[in-house]
Amino acid sequence: MVADGGKVVLESAEFLLVVHAIPKEIADSISIASPPELRTNVPIKLFFPVASLAEARDKAASLGGALYPSDKEWGGRGFRACDGYDPEGNIVQLRESDSQGAPGSPLA
């Protein structure tokens, strides 16, 4: 992760995300509820590969977000997936490789 005053860059071998700061005059008008109001009707949903859904579930909770319970997980072509949300209520999906080691890539 690289951060400066106006943006944060998250990068791995498979993924790059640049998050730009919201201008102060707009940010001051935004209110985030606790727990956050989930934003399910949006044009973008991010998918992130993780080593372990269970570990990600614990980490998300410690950072103000959440990953839905394990009974909400589902399998796809070479991965297990579960939706959750960030501290602002944005819905995300996390994917781990299945037991055969197939990639859990967002494009799988």
The span from the CA of 38 to the CA of 10, in Å, is: 23
pLDDT at 107: 44
Distances (CA, A) of 100 to 29, 35, 97, 103: 48, 37, 8, 9
pLDDT at 44: 86
Q: Where do the CATH 3.10.180.10 domains begin and end in the chain?
A: 33-108
The whole-model pTM stands at: 0.72
CATH number for the segment(s) 33-108 = 3.10.180.10
pLDDT at 105: 47
Q: Which two tokens stand for residue 20?
A: 């730009």
pLDDT at 100: 54
The span from the CA of 83 to the CA of 104, in Å, is: 14
Residue 94 has pLDDT above 90, yes or no: yes
- Cite the beta strand spans of the chain per DSSP E: 2-4, 7-11, 16-20, 46-49, 66-67, 74-76, 79-85, 91-97
Per the model's pLDDT, the better-predicted residue between 12 and 28 turns out to be 28
